[in-house]
Amino acid sequence: MRDFLNGLDNLHEYLKFSYPRMKAPSFFCERETSSGLTLHYRSTRRGFLWYTIGQIKEVGRHFYNTAVDVHVLSHESSVGAIHVIMQLSFDNRAFQLEENRNTQRIDRIMLPIKAFLFLEIFPFCLVFDSGLYIKTIGKSLRAIMPDIAGRKLPEVFDLTRPLIECTWEAILVHSNNIFELSSVQPIRNHDSNGNQLPGTDDSEEDDNDDVSEYVSRLVEFSFWFK
């Protein structure tokens, strides 16, 4: 059950490939214990809260043979979105087992990865510090956004998913989520000599647009923390 709840946000992200117009909600878990967890639910669509609660209860009963008690802790509405915090109580002993395994893990058996190899494997990666200053970027990202190193992440990208505040603390809490970033400024599609840059596509240009040499891009990131 805990795997389903922790993966709810990523599940909706994958469904976007089949339903590109879907306005997916955002979920994330916190304060997980052996007796349950706290679930945050954000959505731009109103009226689906009790449907969501019913789905969670039925998934627990039907697929995991687990009774789930849901208590709404808070319900906030803002322009274009709602934010609901729910306390889910259920038999979550799997969390304790996972915590014990993590405690017993010996980090020295993990294979070390050199920085240059990591950047080679993930050419669109970016590395930032706790102040959200971008320290390093992959070579493919550097080709289309060469001047972003040294700048703060929110100055360069808008965080479009998950629906959280772009802070170091919030990112740490959501380390198992897929992050989707959208560039604040359109990304240049060609260099000064008219050559197409790697990672861009001429088919996305609009010949009737005065800024046809630029194209906005969405970039997806998964964050790993040790």
| Structural domains in the chain (count) | 2
| Cβ atoms of 59 and 4 closer than 8 Å | yes
**CATH assignment at residue 76:** 3.90.1520.10
Domain that holds residue 67: 1-109
- Domain stop point among 89, 109, 129: 109
33 and 6 in a common domain: yes
* Shared-domain flag, residues 94 and 11: yes
- Among residues 85, 109, 133, the one where a domain terminates is 109
CATH number at residue 143: 3.30.450.260
Element (H, E) at 119: helix 115-121
Looking at the fold, whether 87 and 170 belong to one and the same domain comes out as no
Q: Answer yes or no: is pLDDT of 20 > 50.
A: yes
Q: Is 215 domain-assigned?
A: no
Judgement on whether residues 102 and 133 belong to the same structural domain of the protein? no
56 shares a domain with 13 = yes
Q: Which of the listed residues 90, 109, 128 is the one where a domain comes to its end?
A: 109
pLDDT tens-digit readout, 59-109: 999 999 999 999 999 999 887 789 999 999 999 888 876 665 554 454 555
Same structural domain, 26 and 127: no
The average pLDDT across 18-29 equals: 84
The verdict on 136 and 97 lying in the same domain is no
Q: What is the spatial distance between Cα 137 and Cα 117, in angstroms, rounded to a whole number? A: 13
pLDDT tens across 133-154, in order? 999 888 888 888 888 999 999 9
pLDDT at 182 exceeding the cut of 80: yes
Examine residue 203 and state whether it is found in any structural domain, yes or no: no
- Residue 209: both structure tokens together: 């647009």
User: In the chain, at which residue ranges do the beta strands (DSSP E only) sit?
Assistant: 26-33, 36-43, 69-78, 81-89, 126-128, 134-137, 157-161, 178-183, 187-188, 214-215, 218-222
Q: Report if residue 23 sits inside a domain.
A: yes
Mean residue pLDDT of the chain comes to 78
